[in-house]
């Protein structure tokens, strides 16, 4: 299943048939039978999407893979870096 995880209590589950995300309801997400197809769809959705494993146990969905959370860039990585290779013009 493809998910966008913000925290343990706020997870979006992707539904292929409607091209939308369901909030905190895993049963509304799409279970993929083939990993290759899930990875292909994940690549088209972009960054922030994770592939997690689920199984059906006792008629209910059970998550098999651990929670990972969003991976945010550090502040130093998002800083604007000064240009190099240009001469400073002083007037």
- pTM surpassing 0.75? no
- pLDDT at res. 65: 78
**Residue 3 three-state SS:** strand
Write the pLDDT tens digit of every residue in 16-68: 999 999 999 999 999 999 999 999 999 999 888 999 998 888 888 888 877 77
Cα distance between residue 69 and residue 90, in whole Å: 48
- 25 Cβ contact list (under 8 Å, min separation 6): 13
- pLDDT at res. 89: 56
Cα distance between residue 59 and residue 78, in whole Å: 45
Here the tokens at position 61 are 């969905």
- pLDDT at res. 57: 87
Cα distance between residue 1 and residue 15, in whole Å: 9
Closest by CA position to 51, among listed 20, 29, 73, 18: 29
- pLDDT at res. 90: 58
Write the pLDDT tens digit of every residue in 68-91: 765 555 555 555 555 565 555 555
- pLDDT at res. 41: 95
- pLDDT at res. 56: 85
């Amino acid at each position: 299943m493809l998910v966008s995880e913000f925290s343990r209590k706020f997870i979006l589950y992707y539904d292929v048939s409607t091209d939308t995300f369901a909030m905190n309801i895993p049963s509304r997400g799409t279970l993929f039978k083939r990993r290759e197809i899930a990875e292909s769809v994940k690549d088209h959705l972009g960054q922030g999407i994770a592939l997690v494993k689920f199984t059906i146990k006792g008629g209910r969905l059970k998550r098999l893979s651990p929670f990972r959370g969003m991976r945010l860039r550090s502040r130093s990585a998002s800083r604007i870096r000064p240009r190099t290779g240009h001469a400073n013009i002083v007037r």
